[in-house]
Structure 1
């Protein structure tokens, strides 16, 4: 590690002001950033901790029935909530207890790791990402590996999840990291089905639109017969080839649909 200053604002306004410096970086639960600093892949002069901002913590339901999760809410609190069962079940299997009691939803989707679980939940649920300046639709928010629509100094303050009729998340776990080798979140709404895939693509989380169309007509694993996912653009490493990951996308989608249906 190296020397840096840490700023602990108590309001969103103070955090935004602190992040105005070119050498400042936001710090959520630190589950991604701290290892990055240890490897000297980043070296900000100031870390602005968001964990002391009470207005960014907690979970509630708004007037439209959406589950609203504060950006500084830890995974363990989402897991314990239960009002969106598939989301809570997904959160309960992120990392290990230490990670779940430190990591935050805002930090996860701001980082947009290509194998993280939350991006799949946000995209499949058609959630709205709320920042200190605006609201961003899920389809517009994720823009590639480690890339989002967030601008410099913008903070994820809340995520608003429409709660589907049924949903399920299935993750093929990479045992060393507990990240998803491939994870699929399926959400069925009255107007159709959304399927989001994490862990597979070089471009990060994505929607499998062919499966969405098939499942909107017939919400069962049988609807996936005859469908396939191209290996082009899939990640390939010592844990699995591109072709293997492409195959797993279909397998995990089927596993997600069966209990949901």
Structure 2
């Protein structure tokens, strides 16, 4: 289908974009990569009267590190995440996850900000950002405010982002050198959303897991930070009994829909398998 009529805006600054959004309220939507919004507009599931293209705002591009925190600005593309030497050295799980998103054509245009901001439960980056304990910078008429990724998602396509606000950056604490990581994703074909996926980041001291963070993709209306499963793994030797308990705790918080990817029961079990695989790979990668 063809989208309904809308007025196109291409602001040159964050302040200008925020002013346009504030003046039009719910009738306006920001546009980043467009891979979620444009299909919804074509299906008439979204019909904004004003489209605010963020592509011309230079301040929304770039990756840098300051004081142990990496800041990724919202219009940084998946391709740029993959190519970043800084991320490859400090946060390699981002590159691993980006490479599993859709296909190269989409990764050249799709942005981190668009992936995390719109609340699509099938997107990969929201769960990863929860696993990494990231913070989102939201900019509106009253300035900036920070919201933890673990507090941002409320329901499918509903988030803490106000209509007049833009997600302008993502801040991520740098994990310790030698940490283990893995993003495991089961999907039907290249370009598809996950049937289930799991992100794991952990550190080890000797043979013991010192810290662990686990999050799940596309097995509920929102990304899921698996706090209980993370706590079960932390302090363990990652023995078989611990892994079974952690997998069960992760499966217990899932609420997937039955759809073309399989019945709900199957998708829950696949989430557990993704957790098991991600824990194994993260443990292998961790330097005790």
Interval of TM-score (by shorter of Structure 1 and Structure 2)? over 0.9
Q: 1:93 aligns to what?
A: 100
Q: Secondary structure at the match of 1:236?
A: coil
Q: 2:149 aligns to what?
A: 138
**2:181 touches 2:201 (CA, 8 Å); kept in 1?**
yes
**Correspondence list, 1:66-105, <5 A:** 66-81=69-84, 82-83=88-89, 84-105=91-112
Residues 1:239 and 2:261 are matched in the alignment:
yes
Alignment length (residue pairs) = 259
Q: 1:112 aligns to what?
A: 119
Aligned-residue RMSD, C-alpha: 1.8
Greater Rg by CA: 2
C-alpha deviation, 1:98, in angstroms: 1.2
Instruction: Give the TM-score taking structure 1 as reference length.
Output: 0.93
Residues 1:154 and 2:154 are matched in the alignment:
no
Structure 1 unaligned residues grouped into runs of 5+ = none
After TM superposition, what 4+ stretches of structure 1 lie above 3 angstroms from structure 2?
Answer: none
Q: 2:14 aligns to what?
A: 12
C-alpha deviation, 1:180, in angstroms: 1.1
Q: 1:61 aligns to what?
A: 65
Distance 2:17 2:188 in 1: 35
Instruction: Give the TM-score taking structure 2 as reference length.
Output: 0.85
Q: Secondary structure at the match of 1:131?
A: strand
Q: Secondary structure at the match of 2:106?
A: helix
Match of 2:212 among 193, 214, 221: 193
Residues 1:211 and 2:229 are matched in the alignment:
yes
**1:232 touches 1:242 (CA, 8 Å); kept in 2?**
no
C-alpha deviation, 1:162, in angstroms: 1.6
Distance 1:210 1:249 in 2: 15
Q: 1:50 aligns to what?
A: 54
| Structure (1 or 2) with the greater helix fraction | 2
Structure 2 unaligned residues grouped into runs of 5+ = 205-209, 284-288
User: Cα deviation per residue 1:134-165 (whole Å; 9 max; x = unaligned)?
Assistant: 01112211222222111121111000112322
C-alpha deviation, 1:231, in angstroms: 8.0
Q: Secondary structure at the match of 2:195?
A: strand
